[in-house]
Amino acid sequence: MAQAKGIRSESGKVRRVIVVGGGLAGLMTVIKLCEAGVPVDLFSLVPVKRSHSVCAQGGINASVNTKGEGDSPRVHLEETVYGGDFLANQPPVKGMADAAPGIVYMLDRMGVPFNRTAEGLLDFRRFGGTLFHRTAFAGATTGQQLLYALDEQVRRFETVDVEDDKGIVVKGEKMVRKFEFWDFVSIVQDDTGRCVGIVAQDLKTMDVTSFPADGVCLATGGPGIVFGRSTNSVINTGTAASAVYQQGACYGNGEFIQVHPTAIPGADKLRLISESARGEGGRVWVPKDPKERRIGRDVPEGDRDYFLEAKYPGYGNLVPRDIASRELFLKCFHEKKGVYNDKTNQNELEVYLDLTHIQKDVLKHKLAGILEIYEKFVGEDPYENPMRVFPAVHYSMGGLWVDFERSADGSLVPGSPRNQSTNIEGLYAAGEVDYQYHGANRLGANSLLSCIYAGMVTGPSMATYRKNMKTSGYDSPKSTFDKAEKRERAKYTDLLKLDGKENPYGLHKELGDAMLLDCTIERHNDKLDKVIAKIDELEDRAKKVNVLDTSEHANRGAQFVRHLNNMLVLARVIAQGARNRDESRGAHFKPAFKERNDKDFLRSTLALYKGGEKGRSEVTYVRELDYTLAGRSVHITDSVDISLVTPRARKYEQAGAASAAATGALSGTESKKSAAATPSA
Amino acid sequence: MSDKKIRLKILRQDSPTKAKRWEEFDVEWHPRMNVISALMEVQRNPVTVDGTKVAPVVWESSCLEEVCGACTMIVNGRVRQSCTALIDQVSPNGEPITLAPMTKFPLVRDLIVDRSRMFHDLQKVKAWITLDGSHELGPGPRQAPENQEEAYPLSRCMTCGCCLEACPQVNDSSNFIGPAAINQVRLFNLHPSGKMHATERLEAVMGEGGVADCGKAQNCVEVCPKEIPLVDSIAQVSRATTKHMLFGWLLK
């Protein structure tokens, strides 16, 4: 058959690519596709401007080195893989660190109101896991501001006409068509398994419809809601990732879940207090006396235990999140030294995060966004009182496995269709939903960067894939789409008929409680076995739920049951992955196996779905895998590409340890050491 | 366990064509509870105060920390985000809490409305920088910190719709574009590169439904959850359009 060519399929349709998810990664992918002349259908659960990226607060990393500290992308690369405990493939990280300054400049040109220096340059602040000022920021709502900038650019493409290969306008076709309030249900695969479209559901009319595409990118974010309450938006159920995993996509490093050290406990959500609070000099402490009855601000300096600064003089309050969360947990849960509560007569699971020593106008200028959240939800003034915070599930380092093609200089081959490709031909993934950039632990302010960078890579990669396709997805047999649509409609009709005794929201709470308690900061094999048994039980009970809502219009009950089933499948990938990995690495910590074990576990976890007995899900873990892309077979293994920075033990007690290879051992870090130990006001 | 209860009075409607009705629910009080967590309780156990089992109430929400704008509704007669509506503040003495959908947008179901007109309005006023491309072109224009301090508050608009809901000029018999989009005209016309296309944006808010339709009620600035100086924005854009109308032809 002839190669699919040009803007139209053989049947005369404009050949579009589908992007699912309108956060930073999805929108950046859309922009890159449009710039390459590829029209896009953009699907999103919510209006894209309300995507979870808005919740990112602190900033975005780029080694622009405007403070004359000797920062460089090489240092950024090293600190990222060191912070990630060497589990990340290094070429994609190098690509990201090298691209970072250009990305921040692009955002600046797009009009992001980044904070400025006196000279009118971009200002940068400190974040965890580094001693350099590397984080550009727009107040403390950086994610919101970046999302808006990309949203605006995509909105511009909604007004741009599609042109054919001779530059003639195709009437009535715009570069971007948005489908907002649509729920992704599954991909459509042809007889060879290639992804040729999606099935999605309109959340107003509840219609289930299939859409053809010349490639699909999932940019659907993380699965935080699997843990019940987290810092995530309520839409982050991981349902799309779970659905394609059940259709054969490989899931990588699922067990690596980041717990953020500082969040406000709450009944509906655990609200994040950004790491930038510590980047600007915030200090974490508990009273030395566990029965301290004075309120935080009245406890004199000498009676406070600044436990992070004491234990990690090198990086102080800015140790990476995995370490900070473990130390907070140790203080509160094991040593029972959390802030004492007179009313309940117990030590709460809370520590102080203190900004009161910093000038008010500095705080207003740089952190107002998060302090406003604290004030609104806690009802206390954080300018005057130390905030009370505790760790919360925040981010998934793991996600859909994606490929990369390494270039001669150790980075990525530009435009290679392997970059960001899943093991299903034609299906790509970008953003938190992929597993690629953060290894076992993500550094703060690297997530906005990885989302945008992944989008910048995925766009060109998909454009190449589309260009080289033998047959367009639009020319797949109609029966392929009919079959997929019929299957998903039937599943939905079955959901509406569920009239059992179990309450789906109740089951979700039980799942969240089990995962939160035993599958986060500390993991014990006997407890993980219980979590897995609990998932078995919940999967059985989920078959007997009551859908609660049978309405044919804007039904949220049935949609939730679908998400719940998908969450249970992902929960098993996370819990079973944790059970299997008998070592401690980054965010994955087993007290019974305290050391990192590179000999046995310096490898990616590759999970494949298998339908198991009694209708339960099962996971198969593999060491290697073959997949087909553009008629070629690609062989992959679980070994990690460590070609650029040799793994070594992490030592955050020592200033400069995370950048020792790039900066030349630990020399010249003495002055920075003192800067880290005493917060700058 | 506390046996304190919260009463929610919710204005419900199954679809745009069905009749409206009020339903009341009692839920258990928790410390730090907000309207969303109360609604979640109703979702888990959708039984009204008179014991009738009903379909769960539906609403729109996402971030739950007042940065996404999704969960906007009318709480006790005032338009706001329901995530920051703490129960102890909206019902200090255990008064019933009324929840209703916004009225200036087409209803979808219960507390969900369709705000897509606001996103179309952003298209209309060209609320973007016309970028040459996303490839590397070096840093953007230098800007004084004061410029950032003026732009940043304007840029925090979540497109939540509070200002449109509160504005008397936004109604069935008017095409008034509303404060949110006008504020975006000011924002982009402030930016060194955005300025280059200032005229196009000004022209988009001239004429019928434009900035001149503002009735100066100043309700918008009262209800804006992000305290955006909307009245200033309207005044500035209004002055700029007048200037453009009077002298614009001279510059052509």
The Cα-based distances of A408 to A91, A452, A662 in angstroms read: 10, 24, 20
Best mutation site among B63, B126, B191, B193 for testing chain A: the one with the most A CBs within 10 Å?
B63
CB within 8 Å: B44 and A506: yes
Closest CA to A391 of A328, A445, A454: A328
Confidence of residue A666 (pLDDT cuts 50, 70, 90): low
Best mutation site among A33, A38, A109, A372 for testing chain B: the one with the most B CBs within 10 Å?
A109
As a whole number, mean pLDDT of residues B227-235 equals 98
- The minimum CA-CA distance between A554 and chain B, rounded to whole Å, is 7
pLDDT of A57 above 80: yes
CB A359 within 8 A of CB A681: yes
Residues 6+ apart with CB under 8 A from A272: A55, A57, A231, A260, A262, A263, A264, A370, A392, A394, B65
> What's the DSSP call for residue A331?
I
As a whole number, mean pLDDT of residues B214-226 equals 97
Average pLDDT, chain B: 95
Token digits for A562? 């679908």
Q: Which chain A residues touch B131 with a CB distance below 8 Å?
A: 109-110, 153, 156
Q: What confidence tens digit (pLDDT) does each residue in A331-366 have?
A: 999 999 999 998 889 999 999 999 999 999 999 999
CB within 8 Å: A121 and B142: yes
Q: If contacts are CB pairs under 8 Å, which of residues 38-77 in chain B contact chain A?
A: 40, 43-46, 55-56, 58, 60-70
Best mutation site among A29, A31, A33, A49 for testing chain B: the one with the most B CBs within 10 Å?
A49
Backbone phi, then psi, for A338, in 5-degree steps?
Answer: -65, 170
Q: Which residue of A has its CA nearest to B89?
A: A379
CB within 8 Å: B109 and A117: no
pLDDT of A678 above 70: no
Q: Which residue of A has its CA nearest to B187?
A: A111
Q: Which of B30, B152, B188 sits opposite A267 (nearest CB)?
A: B30
- The minimum CA-CA distance between B250 and chain A, rounded to whole Å, is 29
Q: Which chain B residues touch A138 with a CB distance below 8 Å?
A: 152, 155
CB within 8 Å: B136 and A105: yes
Q: What confidence tens digit (pLDDT) does each residue in B84-103 have?
A: 999 999 999 999 999 999 99
- Residue B1 forms contact with A (CB below 8 Å): no
Q: If contacts are CB pairs under 8 Å, which of residues 109-128 in chain B contact chain A?
A: 109-110, 112, 114-116, 119, 122-123, 126-128
Q: What confidence tens digit (pLDDT) does each residue in A498-519 have?
A: 999 999 999 999 999 999 999 9
Burial class, A527, CB count within 10 angstroms (exposed 0-12 / middle 13-18 / buried 19+)? middle
Q: Which of B65, B84, B138 sits opposite A55 (nearest CB)?
A: B65
pLDDT of A316 above 60: yes
Pairwise CA distance, residues B109 & A67, whole Å: 53
Q: Which chain B residues touch A507 with a CB distance below 8 Å?
A: none
Report the percentage of chain B scoring pLDDT > 90: 93
The Cα-based distances of A418 to A195, A458, A462, B162 in angstroms read: 15, 9, 9, 45
* Chain centroid, CA B185 distance in Å: 16
Q: What confidence tens digit (pLDDT) does each residue in B110-163 have?
A: 999 999 999 999 999 999 999 999 999 999 999 999 999 999 999 999 999 999
CB within 8 Å: B134 and A31: yes
pLDDT of B24 above 90: yes
CB B18 within 8 A of CB A253: no
Residues 6+ apart with CB under 8 A from A176: A30, A34, A39, A40, A41, A42, A154, A157, A158, A160
pLDDT of A675 above 80: no
In this prediction, residue B251 carries a pLDDT of 61
* Chain centroid, CA A407 distance in Å: 26
Burial class, A510, CB count within 10 angstroms (exposed 0-12 / middle 13-18 / buried 19+)? middle
- Residue B136 forms contact with A (CB below 8 Å): yes
Residues 6+ apart with CB under 8 A from A497: A547
As a whole number, mean pLDDT of residues A141-148 equals 97
User: ipTM more than 0.90?
Assistant: yes
Q: Which residue of B has its CA nearest to A144?
A: B67
Residues 6+ apart with CB under 8 A from A348: A332, A338, A339, A340, A341, A388
In DSSP notation, A332-360 reads IIIS--SPEETTTTEE-S-EEEE-TTS-H
Q: What number of C-beta contacts closer than 8 Å exist between A and B?
A: 194
Q: Which chain A residues touch B149 with a CB distance below 8 Å?
A: 365
Q: How many residues does chain B have?
A: 252
Pairwise CA distance, residues B104 & B175, whole Å: 12
In DSSP notation, B186-233 reads HHHHHSTTGGGGHHHHHHHTSSTTSGGG-----HHHHH-TT---HHHH
CB within 8 Å: A505 and B40: yes
- Residue B10 forms contact with A (CB below 8 Å): no
CB within 8 Å: B139 and A105: yes
Strands (E), A253-309: 257-264, 271-272, 283-287, 304-305
Which sequence positions of A are flagged as catalytic? 321
A540 sits in which H/E element: helix A525-542
Residues 6+ apart with CB under 8 A from A665: none
Q: Which of B55, B70, B155 sits opposite A50 (nearest CB)?
A: B70
Q: Which of B37, B130, B149 sits opposite A268 (nearest CB)?
A: B37
> What's the DSSP call for residue A118?
T
Q: What is the model's pTM?
A: 0.96
In this prediction, residue A664 carries a pLDDT of 81
In this prediction, residue B205 carries a pLDDT of 97
CB within 8 Å: B145 and A180: no
CB within 8 Å: A47 and B188: no
SS3 A597: coil
Q: Which chain B residues touch A156 with a CB distance below 8 Å?
A: 126, 128, 130-131
Q: Which chain A residues touch B114 with a CB distance below 8 Å?
A: 204
3-state secondary structure A211-259: EECCCEEECCCCCHHHHCCCCCCCCCCCHHHHHHHHCCCCEECCCCEEE
